[in-house]
Amino acid sequence: MRRFLNVLILFILGGLLVAYSVANRDAVRFVIDPFMDKNAAPAIEVKLYILLFVFMLIGMIVGWITAWLGQGHWRRRAKQTHKEATIWKREAENLKRGIEAATPKVPAPPAPRPLRLV
């Protein structure tokens, strides 16, 4: 059921993307420097939907980088906590080995002899 819903959502999103692309298929002139004369400024002519998709992709990448940098504190804290946990685990194992070595080994009592019928 979950897979079906995923496929359905992907089809709907794909349909919306195609409709968006068809609605914005006209070529536009993208001027790199808007303060220069329109004819002298470096520009590229590209379809509008391609331009919009490129800018959306750039926005997603910038957002991803911003979120990644913002979560650096938590990653650093997790790394520090992992190191502390490793140290504590190693110390507990050493103490356990020390206790086992320090306790005298008591020999096991002899096994009871089976009763003989007379």
pLDDT in tens, 14-48: 898 888 888 888 888 888 877 877 778 888 888 88
The answer to whether residue 118 is domain-embedded is: no
pTM metric for this prediction: 0.57
Supply the range of the domain harboring residue 38.
Answer: 1-72
All residues at 6 or more sequence positions from 31 whose CB lies less than 8 Å from its CB, including other chains: 38, 41, 42, 43
Q: Which residues of the chain have pLDDT under 70?
A: 118
Is residue 58 assigned to a domain? yes
The total number of structural domains that make up the chain: 1
Q: Does residue 115 lie in a domain region? A: no
- Whether residue 63 is contained in a domain is answered as yes
For the chain, the C-alpha Rg in angstroms (whole number) is 35
In a domain, 9, yes or no: yes
